């Protein structure tokens, strides 16, 4: 297609995607799918599979996390050139007992996982349907929906599979610039979960507390010391936030064991790994062992994304700006491990991720579909 035909395709396709995406979002949110629940993941995969174009090739890939359901891969084959990966996840953090179906409240579509990221999955499905009608424009379009993004600690299993693709478009929630313009994510910090485990000695806290070695106190001290490395304005832009401390089994026993979790983000993964050296092997006769429970690389795509964003902006008729976001995403793994051009934040607008007020702005399904389609058109036109 030439530029005029791509522009027409973007407008008409977005008009079809918007109502379909709202229906698909309702179906996806209708399934409670907290990360790690195999039966729930299978139910979510079944819904997503039912919403695919009829003639896609479907495959179930071994999940990165052991004991999880298999991930879902759907492929469209074409007669042109260019290979694009559309990426999303079906798991959520909301437990079954807090789940509820999709509800419309004014202009908002509310429900667990709407913005993180079943709204984005709905848009990616719509994009796949539209591409099914113009196979002469690409060689392959793949949609990968994983089931373990929210709680994964294992290495991401799939980069090698897509090493010969041209780009990855990830449909995490979208955003706007400060001036209200369209934005996508081209940079993310590295992310890591620092885990410190303590081994002391239990003892009766009333009769003989001096015999105990208090794991809770040791972990509390370490949490404060680690938090002292929090320096978001520093050269590494590192944030260090203790999030979970578990210790003790009874109110009248000196806690002999415990564990501390610390969420760390930084410009480079090396700045996160360096914190391991700040945890001593022993504190107040309590043994400490520190490890990095997960490693998510940084994503730095601003330079590589500049030309596609410029082309997409021309096709769309309004600017699309590349921005940075602090949260982690599987797009980072594809950017680092394949390595592909990765652009993220192609989902709808909304908010309240991981919270009861989680929602998608209904009107954004159409506008953000246009953004995603413009980027698809730009990348395929450049291939």
Domain ranges of the chain: 3-189+298-382, 190-295
Mean pLDDT in residue range 262-278: 95
| 64 has pLDDT over 90 | yes
Mean pLDDT in residue range 256-263: 98
Q: Topology of domain 3-189+298-382, per CATH?
A: Aminopeptidase (3.40.630)
Strand order in the sheet with 282-283: 239-247, 257-266, 190-199, 286-296, 282-283
Residue 309: count of CB within 10 angstroms of its CB: 24
Asked if residues 62 and 120 have their Cβ atoms less than 8 Å apart, the reply is no
Residue 277 has phi, psi (to 5 degrees) of -70, -15
Exposure on the CB side of residue 108, measured as CA atoms within 13 A: 12
Residue 293 pLDDT grade (very low, low, confident, very high; cuts 50, 70, 90) = confident
Residue 322 pLDDT grade (very low, low, confident, very high; cuts 50, 70, 90) = very high
Q: Which CATH architecture has domain 190-295?
A: 2-Layer Sandwich (3.30)
- Lowest mean pLDDT of 101-115, 188-202, 328-342, name the range: 328-342
User: What number of residues does the chain have?
Assistant: 383
| 294 has pLDDT over 90 | no
Residue 240, beta-bridge partner list: 264
How does pLDDT run across 211-239, given as a tens digit for each residue?
A: 999 999 999 999 999 999 999 999 999 99
| 338 has pLDDT over 90 | no
Asked if residues 166 and 85 have their Cβ atoms less than 8 Å apart, the reply is no
Q: Can 3-189+298-382 and 190-295 be said to share one CATH topology?
A: no
Whole-number percent of the chain with pLDDT over 70 = 100
């Amino acid at each position: 297609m030439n530029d005029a035909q791509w522009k027409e395709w973007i407008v008409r396709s977005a008009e079809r995607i918007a109502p379909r995406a709202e229906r698909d979002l309702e179906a996806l949110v209708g399934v409670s799918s907290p990360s790690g629940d195999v039966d729930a993941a299978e139910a979510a995969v079944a819904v997503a599979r039912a919403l695919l174009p009829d003639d896609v090739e479907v495959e179930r890939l071994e999940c990165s996390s052991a004991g999880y359901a298999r991930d879902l891969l759907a492929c469209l084959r074409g007669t042109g050139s260019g290979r694009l990966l559309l990426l999303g996840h079906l798991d959520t953090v909301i437990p079954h007992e807090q789940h509820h179906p999709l509800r419309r409240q004014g202009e908002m579509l509310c429900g667990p996982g709407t913005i993180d990221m079943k709204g984005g999955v709905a848009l990616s499905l719509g994009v796949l349907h539209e591409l099914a009608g113009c196979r002469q424009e690409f060689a392959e379009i793949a949609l990968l929906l994983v089931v373990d993004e929210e709680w994964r600690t294992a290495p991401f299993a799939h980069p090698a599979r897509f090493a010969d693709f041209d780009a990855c478009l990830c449909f995490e929630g979208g955003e706007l610039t400060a001036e209200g313009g369209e934005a996508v994510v081209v940079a993310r910090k590295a992310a890591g979960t620092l885990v410190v485990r303590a081994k002391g000695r239990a003892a009766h806290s009333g009769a003989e507390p001096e015999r105990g070695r208090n794991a809770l106190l040791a972990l509390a001290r370490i949490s404060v010391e680690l938090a002292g490395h929090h320096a978001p304005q520093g050269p590494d832009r590192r944030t260090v936030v203790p999030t979970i401390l578990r210790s003790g089994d009874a109110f009248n026993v000196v806690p002999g064991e415990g564990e501390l979790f610390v969420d760390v983000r930084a410009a480079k993964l090396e700045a996160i790994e360096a914190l391991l050296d700040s945890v001593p092997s022993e504190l107040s006769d309590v043994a400490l062992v520190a490890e990095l429970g997960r490693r998510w690389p940084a994503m730095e795509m601003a330079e590589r994304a500049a030309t596609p964003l410029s082309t997409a902006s021309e096709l769309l008729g309004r600017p699309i700006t590349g921005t940075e976001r602090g949260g982690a995403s599987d797009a980072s793994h594809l950017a680092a491990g394949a390595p592909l051009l990765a652009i993220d934040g192609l989902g709808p607008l909304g908010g309240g991720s991981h919270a009861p007020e989680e929602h998608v702005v209904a009107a954004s399904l159409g506008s953000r579909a246009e953004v995603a389609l413009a980027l698809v058109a730009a990348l395929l036109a450049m291939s």
